[in-house]
Chain A
Amino acid sequence: MRLLTHNMLSSNIKGVTNGFPLGIVVEKVIEKPVEMNPDFLKNMFAKIEWKALVDASRSMGYAELPDQVDSSMLDSVEFLQRFHHALLELHLEEGALVCPETGRKFPVNKGIPNMLLHEDEV
């Protein structure tokens, strides 16, 4: 699972008011290189939650994203490469996603998060 997917997912357990962003428990991270598309990154920059991406990439052992950003940084190739790497090349292969309110863990096996809710959570 890429961190772009993580940036969309939230915990939807009954009674949880703010299930985003999910925490990350890492057992195994893998990297899969893909070609960088600057236009796509510029488009995504406006849509993603930056802090969630920074925190998620740090839990995955990648600490190269700055806390403070603005759109002028998109002119820097170095910044784009880091953004690209965090958003699309890091994959959570084994571990869990954690509901920020309840601490409930959603297991991630072979890169697939299991977000199914139990009967009493719907």
Chain B
Amino acid sequence: MKLKQLEGLLGDLQQFSNPKVELEQYPTGPHIASRMLYTAENSFGDVSERVVADFGCGCGTLGIAAALLGAEHVVGIDVDSQSLEIASMNAQELEVELNLVQCDLRNLDFRGEIVDTVVMNPPFGTRKKGADMEFLRMALAVASQAVYSLHKTSTREHVKKAALRDFNAGSAEVLCELRYDVPQMYKFHKKREVDIAVDLWRFVPQGA
């Protein structure tokens, strides 16, 4: 599948109808999501015929993108039941299989080394400090091949240090810098739309 095709399909997905600020629910736009999964597949072979987990899947954009690119099994995990319902409808709409689990990631304990790749657009930790690092810690504990994640560019040094020193990553690499459009979704947003710089990271767990 071509990048443009993937981006087009993801652009039709339904997004949060009633976003919850405490969970930092922001949609992963089709531009970012398509590039993230396309790179994971075409540059590293981390998607097709793999088991992929989408952490904090929200409406399922990244997980669905993985399924469209040929992942054999995709599990989307989110704490919020309304998001999971939308994710489920989105998967049906595009006729892909997405296994969904409602769970607080902090309490997740996946057995064994079944998951190859974790993809995620974690909360950036602007409302709850450290939320993105919590996601990264869990992702590196679960993935046996690679973790793809988005983090604010302003936190680059911190992310790198934490991944290598505290979360057992063998390598941590910024693949590219992207603009993340944040539409005016919540009352505290004063501007109509802002875009922030985010890094697309690829982490490899030690021993992979």
Question: In the bound complex, how far is the Cα of B105 from the Cα of A122, in angstroms?
Answer: 12
Query: Is residue B111 within 8 Å, beta carbon to beta carbon, of the partner chain?
Result: yes
CB <8 Å contact, B97 and A117: no
Which residue of chain B has the shortest Cβ distance to A107 in the bound complex?
A: B102
Bound Cα distance from A49 to B88, whole angstroms: 27
- Nearest-CB residue, chain A, relative to B110: A8
Q: Are the C-beta atoms of B100 and A115 separated by less than 8 Å?
A: no
- Supposing A34-B97, A111-B88, A112-B84 touch, asked if A10 and B104 sit within 8 A by C-beta, the answer is no
Closest chain-A Cβ to B110's Cβ sits at a distance in Å of 5
- Which residues of B have CB within 8 Å of A88? 72-73
The 9 closest A-B pairs by CB, nearest first: A115-B103, A5-B99, A114-B102, A12-B109, A8-B110, A112-B100, A40-B72, A12-B107, A8-B114
Number of interface residues of B (CB under 8 A): 26
With A and B bound together, what is the CA distance between A20 and B114 in angstroms?
A: 15
Contact-residue bracket for chain A: 20 to 34
Task: Give A114 to B81 CA distance when docked, in angstroms.
Answer: 9
Q: Which residues of B from 110 to 140 have beta carbons under 8 Å from A?
A: 110-115
Q: Which residues of A contact B (CB under 8 A)?
A: 1-2, 4-5, 7-10, 12, 19-20, 32, 34, 37, 39-40, 44, 47-49, 88, 110-117, 122
List residues of chain B with CB under 8 Å of any chain A CB. Answer: 49, 51, 72-73, 75, 79, 81, 84-85, 88, 97, 99-104, 107-115
Q: Is the CB of B111 within 8 A of A8?
A: yes
| B residues in contact with A8, CB < 8 Å | 75, 110-112, 114-115
A residues less than 8 Å from B108 (CB atoms):
12, 115
Knowing A2-B73, A12-B109, A114-B81, say if A47 contacts B102 (CB, 8 Å): no
Contact: B114 with A111, CB < 8 Å? no
> Judging by beta carbons under 8 Å apart, are B73 and A49 in contact?
no
A32 proximity list for chain B (CB < 8 A): 97
Judge whether A5 and B101 touch: CB under 8 Å.
yes
Inter-chain contact A111/B107, CB cutoff 8 Å = no
With both chains docked as a complex, state the minimum distance between the C-beta of A90 and any C-beta of chain B, in angstroms: 12
Q: Decide if B114 touches A122 in the complex (CB within 8 Å).
A: no
Bound together, the chains give a CA A116 to CA B110 distance in angstroms of: 14
Tell me how far the C-beta of B104 lies from the nearest C-beta in chain A, rounded to whole angstroms. Answer: 6
Closest A residue to B79 by beta carbon equals A116
Give Cα distance in the complex from A47 to B88, angstroms: 27
CB distance from B1 to the nearest CB of A (A): 16
Give A37 to B75 CA distance when docked, in angstroms: 18
